[in-house]
Every structure is written in structure tokens, then in C-alpha cells.
Chain A
Amino acid sequence: MTDSAPPIDAAIAPSSGRSLGIKTKTYFYAALLIVAAVVLVPLITTALGGFKTLGDLRGNAFGLPQTWMVSNYADILFSQRYWLQMGNSLLIAGLTVFLVLTLAAMAAFVFAHVRFFGSDHLLNYFLIGLMFPAATAILPLFIRIRDLGLLDTYWGVVLPQVAFGLGMSILLFRNYFRGMPSELFDAAFVDGAGYFRFFWHITLPLSRPIIATVGIITFVGSWNSYILPLIMLNSESKYPWPLGIMVYRGEFSTDWQLILAFITLTITPTIIVFFAAQKHIIAGLTAGAVK
């Protein structure tokens, strides 16, 4: 009946009608290249360093390798230890992400939609957690984990990570949920959905960007975490990769080229995951900022 023009898609519509002058353009590109270099140079140096011999690395830190020591990478890739540690890291990070997403989303939903006595105080209580880095609490944390009998278990690392991750995640989730139109909730309520079904059928499917954002932040945090596993884990079979690097540190010398190769191989998965989720992350961080 009413045939109208297709709605304008803001993603593909030109954002402004002006085109930039050549001078401005050059300036933009130069500035962006410098910033990009700051990020990329260390990454590339690391990756290339993994192909060098120790002597080559000492004498020629930034250039291309004189001989490409592919064996550095191959040895690591074919070692059982690498895959074991990657598996441990993945398991710990996966459990952490799953628990943080589940708990933070549910808690944030309550804070965003249900008004109850003391909700503000309870929220503040969660947010106080943002002020303490895990390292400051390491001793009481160690004692508590020991009392719980979780030393040298994956849970001994996962649970503290979840606890420290919740504050920020709840904050991000809550702001996102509050930005959703309240009429959606009214409509769902009229349709016969309670809080739980609204959460499951409406809120979660619409929260993909924020789920990706919180998921990635938590994943990377857990993936790179060093101090918690160091304190909580004793047996090498449970070590995640940051602890695994220590193997290459000898008493008198360190195989830096192997460390660099190892680091390159371990951060590759996070880079892949990041690029896969990048679109959602940008949407998640800016959601609700501008109406």
C-alpha cells in the first residue's frame, strides 16, 4: 500500500558532503601512519625477531633476519608444551569469559530494569571492585583460595578473574541496557513476557555488540594475565602461556629469539579474535553515546 523509498542506511551514506583538501589529507594520513607505526613496529619486530638467531637479534634488532630460522617457530609449534599451554590459557579464558558474561549480564539487567531498595548501594559495591587491581589483593586472595582448596586448579585462577572482571562488565552492560527503549519492555510485558523471557528473547539478542565488547576485554585480560596464575598454579601441566615463557629463561642466558617466537604464536589467536569481533566492539563502546 505505502511504497516508500528504502530507508537511508547511515553505515553506507556519506557522512559529509565536503571533500578534504590535499593538505589536510596529507596531514591526516601522516598522523595516522605515525600512530599506526607506534602499534605495529613492536609487533612486527617481535614476529621478525622470532626468525633470527640470538646473535643476529643482538646485533640487528630491527632489520630483517640474515638467515630465516623457521625452526624457531617450528620447534615451538611441534612441541607438546606449546599446545598444552595454549589449551590451558584457552580453558581459563573461556571459563572466565563465560562466567563474566553470564553473571554480569544478569546483574546488569537487574540494575537497569528493576528498582529495588538499596539497588544503588549494591551497584556501588560492585563498582568499588574497579578500584583494586588483583595484585594488591594477592595475599588475602591466596589465603582464601587455599582455604577453599582451589590452589593449583583452574578454578583458583578463573574465580578471582571473574570477580575482578565483574565491576567493569556490569557497568558496560548496564549502560547498554538502559539505552534500550523502555517501550520495548512495555510491549514485551503486554505480549506476556516476564523479566526472564524479556531478558532472554529481547535483551540478549539485541546486545550482541556489548556482549562482544565485554567478551573481548575479558578474554584479552585473562589471556595476558600473569600474576594470578603465577601465584595460584604450581604444576607445570596447568600453566597458561605467560608462565610458559619462563622456560626459555636460563640461569645464565635467555633464548630471546625463542621467547619472541613464542609470544608471536600466543598473541596470534587474540589478534584473530579481535579482528573477528572488531565491528561489534566499536558499536558496543559507542552505543548510547549519541542518540
Chain B
Amino acid sequence: MAGLELRNLAKSYGMVSVIEGINLDVKDGEFVALVGPSGCGKSTILRMIAGLEDITEGDIYIGGEVVNELTPKERNIAMVFQSYALYPHMTVYRNMAFNLELAGRPKAEIDQRVRVAAKMLELEPLLDRKPSQLSGGQRQRVAMGRAVVRNPSVFLFDEPLSNLDAKLRVQMRAEIKLLHKKVGVTSVYVTHDQVEAMTLADRVVVLDKGIIQQAGSPMELYRQPANTFVAGFIGSPSMNFFAATIVGGVAKMETGEAFPFNPREQLAEGQAVTVGVRPEHFQRSGSGPSLSGPIDIVEPTGGLTFVTVHLAGQPTVVTISGDDTVKLGASLTLFTQPEQVYVFDGASGRRISEN
């Protein structure tokens, strides 16, 4: 086991730069999720850590040593792929044993390690089957088993759950978390699904356009997003944004409604800002200034109901309890708390409110 460090990591294809100066420290045993929209470079970073992609600039350290020029095997990493990438012609047992065979381990040791891993992942009854005879969840577990048998320093996951259906995904998510608890190996997990990232990881790194937007614990990202991108990306349904200007210390919208908030720096009068309010932070009762508008869409999901309200000239998603009944077309009046109003600089997107 070992920690992982990325120092000024950069990648470009010819003139096109896809990753710019990534700095990241993953502590020994930590579970870090890289999350971002498709094309943000998260998979490229993972492949660079794995040694499947050349590094244009910067260094990768595993266990304190630069591994830039080492092969994946020499880096002692294990990777779980999106399509599982199981060898179709080999049994589950051989799939798991293959890397140990290549490493020339004695047969008895291979057998013992495969059986330990199979037991941990409850794969014992499946060892003689071929991958084509397994269900999606079982294949996923074989892929993890293949990674576990080699006792890697670092575990890499490349969107391992995106090929599964919704229910299985939740189940496998729990299994991955359990597995990490059992083996305690430093793990890097790439996903585009922020829920997956938040539920699994000790620390979430949000990427966009090849740059780290913010890194922190899941709740930190949710409560104190660094900028509009992180604020919009983390949380589901995502945050509502309104364009506004600073007038007399409050954020005033063109339509006249105002959001009081707690600034964390000197504000300029007339400064263009973006106001962000999470759907779950609208209250139906309260004091102070309020917003109201007609209900356009009602989406019940059971425990919660998502209501799209036409507020301040734009559709705004509001989460209410599933027990509350609302009528399509009826008017809804909503209140906000100053500490739950996020305000971002209009030009840079940086958060300027204290939350």
C-alpha cells in the first residue's frame, strides 16, 4: 500500500491541451473520486496514473517514488474497467490468476490468493464459469477480484458501474465501499455520476476542462462549492442559478426580487453576480423577502416531489416533501435563508458569499 501524488500533471495531444497542471495528494488508504462531465479529462488522468497513457509534463509518485517511466505492472496498480475487460476465453479462476501466472508465482500461492479473493467477493461457486455465463453484477465482481488478488498499491476504477442497471448499481456501490473497507487500499475512482462519487469517496475531486475545480469531502463540496461549476455539478437536482446585481448589499434580480445573503468579501455596488439556491433550500413558509410563481411541472418520486416553478422569469426546481400536495398551475410562494443563498462573482464564477 502506498500514497499517490500528482505533481503538475499535464497532458496534451499536439497543440491541444487536455489536462493542465493537476496537483493532487491521495493519502495511503484514502478513497478519492474524480468526477466531472464527459471530456473533462478524468479518465485520461486515471490512465496516466495506470501507465496506459504517456505523461506530457509533471510527475506521478506512488509510495514516494516517481513512476512516470514505469509500466503498469511495475507501478503495482490494479484497474477495473468500464466494460470489465474480462478475458472471454478464460474461466473466472484463470481471469483472476492470469496476472499472477504472468508474474511467475508458484501454483500453490496463486491458488491460495485466488481463493481468498474469491471468498471475499463471494465468487467461489463461479470459479469454473466463463465470463459469458455471468450476469453483469457477477462480471463486475470478477473484475474487482482480478484486481484484488495482486495486492496492488493503488486501485483504479474507471466508471466501473456505468454498464449496470440502476438497482444493481446501488448494490455494487455498497460492495465497492465494503471492499475498500476490507482491503484498505488507496483508491482512485473515476465517474461522471456525482451521487456515486459522493457516496463512495472520502474525498471528491471535481474536474472541468482539465482543471481541478475543487477538492474536498463530499459535504464540503455540497456546502461550500468554490464556484458556479462545482455548485451546479454537485447536488441533485442541481442548483438553480439567477443572474443578479449587487444593490445595497443584496443581490437584486432584473425582475425586482432580492436575495439577502452573507458576503465574505467587500462587494462593489452594481457588481454582476450569479445567485444560486439549491432546490431543497426553498421553504414554503418563513419570513423576509419571498419569491412566487406558477407551478409548471410536478414530478413525484415518492419521498420527495420535484416541482418546477416559474420564478423570477425562469423555470426553477424546488424540492418539497412527497406528502405535500401541490396543484399544477397554482401559485407557490417560497422563502430563502440568507445562509443558504450562494452568490458567485458574475465574471469569474468564484463564490463570494459566506455559507
Chain A contact residues, CB within 8 Å of chain B: 1-4, 6-7, 181, 183-184, 186-193, 197, 201-202, 205-206
Contact = CB atoms under 8 A, between A and B. Distances in A.
Chain A contact surface mostly = helix
A281 B85 CA distance: 25
Given A2-B135, A2-B137, A7-B135, A189 B52 contact: yes
B355 interface: no
Nearest to B150: A191
A2 B71 contact: no
B19 interface: no
Contacts of A197: 102
Contacts of B82: 183
B21 interface: no
A205 B94 CA distance: 14
B85 A192 contact: no
Contacts of B73: 190-192
B102 A4 contact: no
A135 to B, nearest CB: 41
Interface string B85-120: 111110000000011001100000000000000000
Nearest to A205: B89
Given A1-B137, A7-B135, A192-B103, A183 B81 contact: yes
Given A186-B52, A192-B73, A201-B98, A2 B87 contact: no
A190 B47 CA distance: 10
A192 B89 contact: no
A3 B122 CA distance: 12
A215 to B, nearest CB: 18
Contact of A186 (B85, B99, B135): B85
A205 B91 CA distance: 13
Contacts of A183: 81-83, 85
A184 B87 contact: yes
B138 interface: yes
Given A183-B81, A189-B71, A206-B88, 9 more contacts: A4-B137, A183-B83, A184-B85, A188-B98, A189-B52, A190-B52, A190-B78, A192-B72, A202-B87
B201 interface: no
A192 B102 contact: yes
Contacts of A186: 47, 50, 52, 79, 81, 85
B79 A2 contact: no
Nearest to A184: B85
A181 to B, nearest CB: 6
Nearest to B86: A187
A189 B72 contact: yes
A187 B85 contact: yes
A193 to B, nearest CB: 6
19 contacts: A2-B138, A4-B136, A6-B133, A7-B132, A7-B133, A181-B85, A183-B82, A183-B83, A186-B47, A187-B79, A187-B87, A189-B71, A190-B99, A191-B73, A191-B98, A193-B102, A197-B102, A201-B98, A206-B89
A275 to B, nearest CB: 24
